[in-house]
Structure 1
Amino acid sequence: MSTAIGIIPARMQSSRLPGKMLLKETGKPLIQYAWEAASASASLSEVIIATDSEEIATACKSFGARVSMTGDHPSGTDRIAEVVQNEKLQADLIINVQGDEPELDPGCIDRLVTAMQKSPNIEMGTLGTPITSQAMLIDQGCVKIVRAADGRALYFSRLPIPFYRDGDPDDLLFARPEDAHFTRSPWLLHLGIYAYRPEFLLALTQMPPSELEQLEKLEQLRALEAGASILVEVVHHRSVGIDTAADYAAFVERMQRKQDQ
């Protein structure tokens, strides 16, 4: 039976919200939510937090997480690759779980792992969810995916692709009230989680940044430019990334509403 290990890369500095991983207005640090979600996944045999921050490491150990200390890295992918190498992890899949997505559904992790297990020749996988609002469609912070009929990613972009030349996007951006999972939307929002074959992860981090990657500032384009395949599993639960103080304030408000119910 194949095995999958989850790794959560975490750094103290963030360009838009420094120290966000340890923000705890809800009563526990932000990164703990991602760790709890990953730990609740039935598909992961182990969950490791990878960090170069002693402060983050101390906080994570306090709630029972396994921590692997790393050097300084330009990306989370490089950080998890160091853990795979240094710890000599034995797994068929490495799952990169974002520490700043506290509302990730453990079931979505399971869906991604299952999809990758069914496609053993695919090097990498991720998740997408239908876009159903104009605001999200035009937001350059929301990455869009164009997917082939067989589920492989054709391209990722910050722009609203595919372009609807002869119609109004509003005609396709809707869901039926009686079925929250139904949508005609041809647009997919990329969710920040990745699955890698370990050998491909190590190879990817040895490649120089690609031209498209540098233009869009999207690391997954390096894999596509190198000729790799990225499987995109479509789910209907959208986890919200925490990138700004406003994002975190909205998250705190959502948590308070849940506690009040």
Structure 2
Amino acid sequence: MKIVGIIPARMGSSRFQGKPLVPICGKPMIEHVYRRSAMSLTLDDLYVATCDQEIYETVREFGGKAIMTSNCHERCTDRIAQAVENIEADIIVNIQGDEPLIFPEMIDQALEPLLSDSAIVCSNLMADINNEKDFEDPNEVKVVVDLDGFALYFSREPIPSRKKGSSDFVGLKQVCIIPFRRDFLFKYTKLSPTPLEIIESVDMLRAIEHGYKVKMVKTPYETYSVDTIEDLMHVEEIMKDDELFRKYS
């Protein structure tokens, strides 16, 4: 079984223009994501999929692999599907390019359900939400799961409600490492967009609304996505003392 990681990246982010190339401790963010992901024990190959020549050239300059894709894709899953059209792979892992503190073990964790159960077509990582700010932050996608760990719903709003429940309940957030079986990835991209997917702007809701199950895997690793300048400053402070960073700095 061949497993390939794809990091979708583009300069035209609506929330933070040009963030894949923004420097963190002297290296562009996309390089941090690539080098740390490449340490995964389960990935056989790794590529950045981009529609921007400057990202493509930057990846090639630091020794990574990159694939040019169309600039018409609205969803990262469509970009990934185009990137792997001519790549032999049984499982494709969507690794978001704005998680510069990713740990390679997280990729291995996310893959475990697909490697142990042939009926599972897609999985996601999730992590505890440790503070009220993140629970209220629309940039953090929240998730609720059933008793078997399959996603019931994703939202940018705070879920579940705390109005009548215990204030001690720990919320869960989506961590965007998403393995797909190859056949399901291409099937997913052909499914029609769904109302809740559009309202929430969360790709995984398309799978759920069409009746597919998404297995969630809880990770103990703490990472931070970069959506704002404040996020960038916070990540850079952490990176200065990060042991994994020392291995490739």
TM-score w.r.t. the length of structure 1 is 0.88
**Distance apart, 1:236 and its partner CA:** 1.1
**Aligned match of 2:214:** 230
Q: One-letter code of the match for 1:82?
A: Q
Q: Superposed, which structure 2 residues align to 1:1-261 within 5 Å?
A: 2-72=1-71, 73-85=73-85, 87=86, 89-169=87-167, 171-172=168-169, 185=170, 187-258=171-242
How far apart are the structure 2 equivalents of 1:212 and 1:97?
Answer: 23
Identity %: 35
Deviation at 1:210, TM superposition (A): 0.5
Q: Are the counterparts in 2 of residues 50 and 69 from structure 1 also a CA contact under 8 Å? A: yes
**5+ residue gaps in structure 1?**
173-184
Consecutive unaligned residues of structure 2, counting only runs of 5 or more, are none
Distance in 2 between residues matched to 1:111 and 1:155, nearest whole Å: 21
Deviation per CA, 1:199-255, whole angstroms, max 9, x where unpaired?
A: 111111122210011111111100100111101000111221111122112222222
Structure 1 Cα separation of the partners of residues 187 and 90 of structure 2: 15
Question: d(CA) in 2 for partners of 1:196 and 1:165?
Answer: 36
Tell me if the contact between 2:139 and 2:227 (Cα under 8 Å) persists in the aligned partners: no
Q: In the aligned structure 1, how far is the partner of 2:19 from the partner of 2:121?
A: 31
Aligned residues: 243
TM-score (norm 2): 0.92
How many angstroms apart in 2 are the aligned matches of 1:227 and 1:189?
A: 21
Q: CA deviation at 1:138?
A: 2.1
Residue in structure 2 matched with residue 175 of structure 1 by the alignment = none
Return the alpha-carbon distance in structure 2 between the equivalents of residues 131 and 248 of structure 1: 19
